Each structure stands twice: as C-alpha cells, then as structure tokens.
Structure 1
Amino acid sequence: MIPLKLVMTTAGLRRFTAAQENAGVDLRVAKVGFSNTNFVAAPTLTALPGEFRRIDTVSGESVGDNVVHMTVQDEDEVTYTVRGFGLWLGDGTLFATYSQPTPIAEKSTASMLALVIDIVFPEAGVDRIIFGDTNFLNPPATTERKGVVELATLAEAKAGDALRAVTGAVVKAMIGDTVPIGTILLWAGIAAPAGWAICNGQSVNRTDGLGLIATPDLRGRVAVGVSADHALGTGFGATTREVDTTSAGDHDHAATGTIAATATGVTVSSTSRNVDAGGSAGGVLTGVTVNDPGHTHTVEVDVATAGGHAHAVTIDVTQPSVALHYIMKV
C-alpha cells in the first residue's frame, strides 16, 4: 500500500515539536474525523472542512521511515463516503489532515468499515505518536466475520483453546495422537497409507522418531484377545486338523456275499465202436447232452475282530473368510 502524505496543522506541529523536547507531551490520536469534501489540507486548518463523523475506534503504530500504520473501525449502521480525514489529539487539537478528489472509503449500513491506511509524516520522530486503542489495528476474527487470529500450538489445541485458530498441521498431529502407535486395523488397500505398515512381521521406523517398531505377522491369521494360555504376540491354531478313530475301541465287521445265478451243462459228442464175432455189430452211440438248470450259491464271510486301531483323517477347519491386510500405526 502507498502511504498517504498528511499535512500537519500549525497547532499540530507545535505539539509535535514540543513532544520531541518533552517526553511528557501527549501526542495520543484519540479520534479520526471523516469528511466527504475535497478540501485543501493546509497547515492553517483548525477544523476539518465538511466533517460529518468522528470515530474513536482508531488504532495504529509506527512502522519506520516516518510511516504510521493506522486502522479505523466503524460498525454503526450508517452510509457515507470518505474523501478526506483529520487526526484529532486527545486535547482536541486538529493534528493533521488529508484529502483527495476520489473516495478513500465508502460504507453501507450493512457493512463494517475497517479503514486500514499507511500515513507518512514530513517530520521524524513519529514514534512519539500514540493511538487510543491498539485493539483496533485489525478486527478479531469470529464465526460471523473475517479478521485476525492467533494460531494455536499443538498443546493449546489439545487443551481445547476456544480463542486461537488451528492449522492443518496441528489438526494432522492431533489426529495422529488420537490414534496411538501400535493400533491395528483392517485395510482393503494394496499398500498401507502414510504412517502405517502392513502386519507381515517387518520392522519399520516409528513416526515419532523413537527407533524401530516390529509389526506382528498376521498373514493368514485372525487376531484374538490375549489370555492366560496365549501371551501377547504369540501365534497359535492351524487351518487344518488331523483326527482319528481311536475312541472306537474293539469291534467286528460282518460281510455277506452272493454269487449270481449261472447255467452249467455237459455235452458228449457222438462216438463209434467195433464189435468182435458173436456180438452185435454196427451199433452207434449218438451225442448226449446234459443240462444243469440255473442256480445260485450264497457265501457268508465273517471278519475277525480287528482289535483296537485308528484311522487318521485330515480336515480343513478354515472358517469362511475374506482376505484383507492388517495394518499397524507406526
């Protein structure tokens, strides 16, 4: 912002000169007068031409090089245009004035005027100029309007400070503190997010800079609560289990078999014979066939007592599952 060059009045210059020689002289700017008139800012002025309003909510401070940073605030529901202004000391002296043809500021009834200007003085020693209320250098921010805020530290934010604003870095740190290192969650992503590590037994650097931390190996496992039988971090259980029939004891096995019906028969081919003298001659035997009707044979088999024995069987005991990553806050 370009500083506005004010003209000191004769009375104001006398007060200013006296203040350089006597630290007890009061150069407190108590009020700022507004004018809508484009007037000549002359040293001879003792009153502000066209003054229509005088504001006491004014603040400022010296920022070097004869420049004063000043803020004037007006919250009243009024409408006006400012083309010139004058600084009034606490004793009623018109200290300095400024004017220009174009508006310096305009205010409507629905708005708050926060006129922030830098003013330059022709004389050195402006550090002796003080203002009535330094709280109006900039208006404080609220839930209803913009303004200046003080940023909260992490400790102040954790304490629930209601007056200081919180930055993104502080919010991130607070979230990190809310989820302590060592917290384990299920994660559907391929890779772990920043500040987390997949629980596959690896050792990684802690985010708090306190060295390494080891993740438990939870691949293919389900986490359960620590108990007297299972210490923290120990693995147990399996996806399969082998069982046997030892508890069956001595026992017999009976078996019955049946041979299916079948046909049997004997066939004798025709033959010839020779007869010597005195016997009959020329007798010939024809073929003879013997047929056996179909029949069945029933067979009963007894299995001897086998004595005590076992049959080993392997069973899959895996519960219905969905594979996800376990991740740990590191």
Structure 2
Amino acid sequence: MSLETAQYLHQLNPANPSGADRLKEGDDHIRMLKAVLKATFPGITGPLSTSVTHTFLNGLAGLLVPVGAIVLWHGAPADVPKGWAICNGDKAAKSDGTGTITTPDLRNRVPVGASADHELLSTFGQTSATYTSSVAGSHTHTGTAAEAGSHSHSGKTGDHSLTTAEMPAHSHMVAAPGTATSLLSNSNTLATGKQDGSDSNYTLTGRSESASYGKTSDGGEGKAHSHPITADGAHTHSLTVSQVDGHSHTVTVDATQPSIALHFIIKV
C-alpha cells in the first residue's frame, strides 16, 4: 500500500504500516514519524524533568482557566491577551470556535456574589444617595461660642474738632491783676486801663460800663482727639437661634468608595 501521510500526532494511524508493506518502505515510515513528533512538539528543545509524568500532564487539564472566568488586568485594551476579552457588554468569539459569548459590562461597577437577593448579572447600587430627615417640630437651637483668648479689635472713632456751638455750657473767671479773686459781678466791669506793652495791667471801676479789654482764665485747646478700643480678656458668647416651624432637611451624600480603575477581562 502507499506510504502513510501525517503532519501531527493525531493524524497517525496506529494500524499502519500493514504486514503487507515491503521492508524497504520502513525507512520512509521512520522519517515520517520523526517529522510528526517535531511538528507536534516544536518547543521541546531539551529533556523534560522526571516530574513531568503522564499523571502530572493529565492533572494540568484541571488547572486550566475555564471559559467565563473573570480576572483584573492592567494594560491597554488593544493589548488584551489572546483568548481573553474586556468585560464591556460586547460579544466575543470563543477560543474553541464553538460560537460567541456576551461579556458582562463591568465598567464603573464592582462585582458581588450572586444570591437570591441579587440574581446573576443583575445590577444595583448608585454612586450617591439622597436622604431626608424626619420632620422636627417647632424648636430653637442654643449654643455657646468656643472661648477665645484675650484679644483686641482694631478701629477708632473719627477725629473731630469742636466748634463754638458744640462746646458745653461753662464759665470763665475774671480776676484783678495780682490776685486770684473772682470779680464776676454785674456791678464790676473792666475799664480800658491796659498799659502799652503789657497784657496783665487792668483796673476795675464801679461804673457799669462795657469793658473794652479784659482777661479771663483759659479753657480748652481746641485740639482733635479720638477714642481708643481696649482689649478684652478671654470670654465666650452665648447665642440662641430664633424659633422655627417644623421642617426637615435633605442632603445628598457621595457614596463612592476609594477606587482605582483597571480592566475586568473574561476567558473566552
């Protein structure tokens, strides 16, 4: 019969060569077997460890990643390993050529174990939550500000010079020269007895005449002034908020947990 042909181990026919084959064709069979072995195991370029037994090799089948297994993967979408697909809700061809598989969309989601409360592939949860407090009756709030240490407040009053009209009611003493005796009287007036070169020589007369010269005691300087603000010691302030009618409060809380973004990939 004609010489058997094969490229890989699974193509070899254990019934060949038949007993009717001629002996001279044996060398052709041997060369074919060598070619099949090298084509089937091209990566074996040295001796295998003695621990690589048929039992070990058979056990590897149970260690292979099954179709549908999902793992986290760090890398660009274009670099996803062969036989794997990103979990983005798209369909992917199965590696064994038996059809396609629809990947679960795990983008922006965290997987949890399926249960009676959450069936397989069901989605739930949200990144934020809004809460409304129960209605509280009419009430007030009291409080005390935290104690502050001794401190001061800056600031000042505006400067102002008094005018004559703004000065309070007051009197001035008129005295005779050389004495401190007050001569304020309706019957005592000053005469025009001022001597040249002097501002203190005055004489009194008993006549009710208007004085053309006179000297009174000094009063005020007409200068501007201000009022300082002094520092206060450590103290607190008590406060009471005005009473309000019954009401509730609504708040929105960010419920996103601290996260890092990676790709979920599935074995196809």
The bucket for the TM-score relative to the shorter chain is 0.3 to 0.5
Query: Under a length normalisation based on structure 1, what TM-score does the superposition of the two structures give?
Result: 0.37
Query: Under a length normalisation based on structure 2, what TM-score does the superposition of the two structures give?
Result: 0.44
- Structure with greater strand percent: 1
Larger RCO of the pair (alpha carbons < 8 Å, separation 6+): 2
